[in-house]
Structure 1
Amino acid sequence: MSEDPPSRVAAADVPAARPSATSLPPLTSLLPPWPGEQLPVRGGQVFVRATPWTGPVDGPADDAPRERALYVHGLGGASTNWTDLAALLAVRFDGWALDLPGFGRSQPPPRRRYSISGHVRAVIDVLEHIARQPGEAAGRPVHLLGNSLGGLVSLLVASRRPDLVATLTLISPAMPVYRVPPAFSRALLLLLVPGVPSLAARRIGAVTPEQSVRGMIRMCFGEPAKVPRERIDQAVQEMRDRAAQPWADHALTRSMRGLMTSYLRVDAANAWRAARALQSPTLVLWGARDKLVDPALAPRLASVVPDARLQVLERVGHVAMLEAPEATARAVLGMVETVTACRDPHAAVDTPRGVRR
């Protein structure tokens, strides 16, 4: 039997995140997707977008920290999910965001076998590529951020290769709960039945891009009515581009099946067991209105990770990096600044007044 998640834990029982007061660039307009390129990974290639470091907003760039980060999207998402957050975190990070195999602009994996272990291997390969790049942070561990499916994958990467991960940020990670959330149709359980994923892919293919985007917004956002029209139009165009790929629907349904079957693991690949063994400082960040992964899991996960801090964002759903990029950026930077200060007692930690500890 799979290892169960811990019993219910209150948010007050785990350390709270300390948001940073670092000045951030304003997000006054809709940013276009960052440019990218295809990178080789085991068995193929993945598309990776790059967000260059900008340095501090209101200070000299000389001697300012310049580190590296990798962003991993969720099921049905893409590297473009991180456009705004990567722009904010560019004050400290050179950022990379990959399209997992079969998603975004990435080709399907070998033999089109979509599994959590395959996604883990792809992320490890990209992390190794980033660490090899010349520059100030060459050879150093990378800050790893993942959402939903990408959060689960990132957790397993950090447990398997702690040498590659400086800090870990888990945004509503798809942790095993062994029950179907109310937002999901019970029909998803049929994806475990051989042959059904192919049928599901054909059904998904009949949904228009506009219907798909609006359905995802209703499911993933805490306040769907506040999503700007420009963001919806951008998402629809991205969905049209994805629909032109013959493997797109197959990638979605097979990856969902891979996610569900991963919940049955009883070995070291079990996500809850891996969480208990994490060595990297970890931020657990959740939206209080998450309809896809129960927010009650947030303090439970933070309680089992050895060096974790917790941030729950009110009125936010499943994709905090899209809905609340500034609050997410401040939580990430706060963790990184605290970790740096612990390693260097002379380093300053920029923490706003009134932050609850």
Structure 2
Amino acid sequence: MSSTEQSDSHAAAPFEVPPTGRSRRAGEGETLRSVSLPGLTLAVRGRPATRAGLPPALYVHGLGGSSQNWSLLMRELADTVDGEAVDLPGFGHSPPPDDGNYSVSGHARAVIRYLDATARGPVHLFGNSMGGAIATRVAAVRPDLVRTLTLVSPALPELRPQRSAIPTALLAVPGAVALYGRLTRRWTAERRTREVLALCYGDPTSVSPEDFEAAVAEYERRLALPYFWDSLARSARGIVNAYTLGGQHALWRQAERVLAPTLLVYGGRDKLVSFRMARRASVAFRDSRLLALPEAGHVAMMEHPEAVAGAFRELLRDTDTGRG
């Protein structure tokens, strides 16, 4: 191994979750449309409900992810909700926002604008990682838009983050993305994808060769986008900035303001959001319940969609909010 290859092996993968082949197959029967709103255009993925009259749901992905990250869960819940998943500005198939605002508040405003424009609210709102922080902010400032809140490993501030999460946070530092690019310039899309799966999955070996090939193809598509790295870095910076806000804009303070019944999902093998945060979140969200998945990583809705869907159905039964 050369000295260059040795240094490359220590570079951390950015937090990217390209969909696996399982998600691609689950995506059969989905629709993808473009919605133009003032200052932004959003790609919205939909899966027709199995029957008419089901309540609406909206799924919000995390940093570097896309609406496809929700395909498996959308399929599982097609008999329960009328689901749509949004590509946040600059991610998936959505172009960057006109104002270049990738803050948590900026992303939250995009979600709110979409819900207001389509009059789909109130919805059952789902969020993963950064999407969990965004969904928390939406539920706090616009409770009229949210029936229930389901958060999968939400990116809420931690005083002592895990070491494995630090490289992702460092993407927010000016110049870090350029440095990362130099350190990983020899990396193939296959290697980048393996790094991603190792970071985000509780058991990366569960991904089949077919799934892996589909993930590599999606990663290659994203790498070709001219704004790929910029949207990733600015959104990472937006999360870090959100962690430093105090007063009524503090994320934990907003969590305490959420009125909607809340399902919290945490993975025991999560390398990005510590499992110990489940206890604090359970206290902060006033009407909450916890689904703990010891074998799951950061994207439980992709690894264990059946378990997440089952817990959500229990939430609806117990809170009687599932009616249209």
TM bracket (short chain): 0.7 to 0.9
Report Cα offsets for 1:234-269 as digits up to 9, x if no partner: 211111111121001111111111111110000222
- 1:1-357 correspondence runs (5 A): 30-32=25-27, 34-55=30-51, 66-132=54-120, 140-185=121-166, 188-189=169-170, 191-192=172-173, 195-197=174-176, 199-200=178-179, 202-203=181-182, 206=185, 207-340=187-320
Work out whether residues 200 and 253 of structure 1, in 8 Å CA contact, stay in contact via their aligned partners in 2: no
Measured in 2, the distance between the counterparts of 1:264 and 1:187 equals: 16
3-state SS of 2:269 partner: coil
Aligned residues: 300
3-state SS of 2:259 partner: coil
Work out whether residues 263 and 288 of structure 2, in 8 Å CA contact, stay in contact via their aligned partners in 1: yes
Work out whether residues 170 and 282 of structure 1, in 8 Å CA contact, stay in contact via their aligned partners in 2: yes
Measured in 2, the distance between the counterparts of 1:214 and 1:285 equals: 24
3-state SS of 1:145 partner: strand
Measured in 2, the distance between the counterparts of 1:113 and 1:321 equals: 27
Work out whether residues 142 and 166 of structure 1, in 8 Å CA contact, stay in contact via their aligned partners in 2: yes
Higher RCO, 1 or 2 (CA under 8 Å, sep at least 6)? Answer: 1
Evaluate the alpha carbon distance shift between residue 167 and residue 246 of structure 1 in structure 2; reply closer, same or farther with a 3 A threshold: same
TM-score (norm 2): 0.86
Evaluate the alpha carbon distance shift between residue 269 and residue 208 of structure 1 in structure 2; reply closer, same or farther with a 3 A threshold: farther
Measured in 2, the distance between the counterparts of 1:182 and 1:45 equals: 36
Query: Higher helix share goes to which structure?
Result: 2
3-state SS of 2:172 partner: helix
Mean Cα displacement is larger for which, 256-265 or 181-190? 181-190
Task: List alignment gaps of at least 5 residues for structure 1.
Answer: 1-26, 56-60, 133-139, 345-357
Which residue matches 1:8? none
Work out whether residues 131 and 142 of structure 1, in 8 Å CA contact, stay in contact via their aligned partners in 2: no
1:76 deviation in Å?
Answer: 0.9
Work out whether residues 30 and 230 of structure 1, in 8 Å CA contact, stay in contact via their aligned partners in 2: no
Work out whether residues 42 and 122 of structure 1, in 8 Å CA contact, stay in contact via their aligned partners in 2: no
Report Cα offsets for 1:101-146 as digits up to 9, x if no partner: 10011101124232111101011112224435xxxxxxx5100000
Task: List alignment gaps of at least 5 residues for structure 2.
Answer: 1-21
Measured in 2, the distance between the counterparts of 1:156 and 1:266 equals: 14
Work out whether residues 74 and 148 of structure 1, in 8 Å CA contact, stay in contact via their aligned partners in 2: yes
Question: Larger Rg: 1 or 2?
Answer: 1
Measured in 2, the distance between the counterparts of 1:67 and 1:290 equals: 31
The aligned amino acid for 2:47 is: T
Q: Percent identity?
A: 41
Which residue matches 1:5? none
Work out whether residues 147 and 172 of structure 1, in 8 Å CA contact, stay in contact via their aligned partners in 2: yes
1:187 deviation in Å?
Answer: 8.2
Evaluate the alpha carbon distance shift between residue 338 and residue 200 of structure 1 in structure 2; reply closer, same or farther with a 3 A threshold: farther
Evaluate the alpha carbon distance shift between residue 29 and residue 302 of structure 1 in structure 2; reply closer, same or farther with a 3 A threshold: same
The aligned amino acid for 1:199 is: A
The aligned amino acid for 1:53 is: A
The Cα RMSD (Å) is 2.3
3-state SS of 1:191 partner: coil
Measured in 2, the distance between the counterparts of 1:204 and 1:156 equals: 35
Which residue matches 1:12? none
The aligned amino acid for 2:175 is: V
Work out whether residues 169 and 240 of structure 2, in 8 Å CA contact, stay in contact via their aligned partners in 1: no
Evaluate the alpha carbon distance shift between residue 187 and residue 243 of structure 1 in structure 2; reply closer, same or farther with a 3 A threshold: closer
3-state SS of 1:285 partner: strand
1:215 deviation in Å?
Answer: 0.8
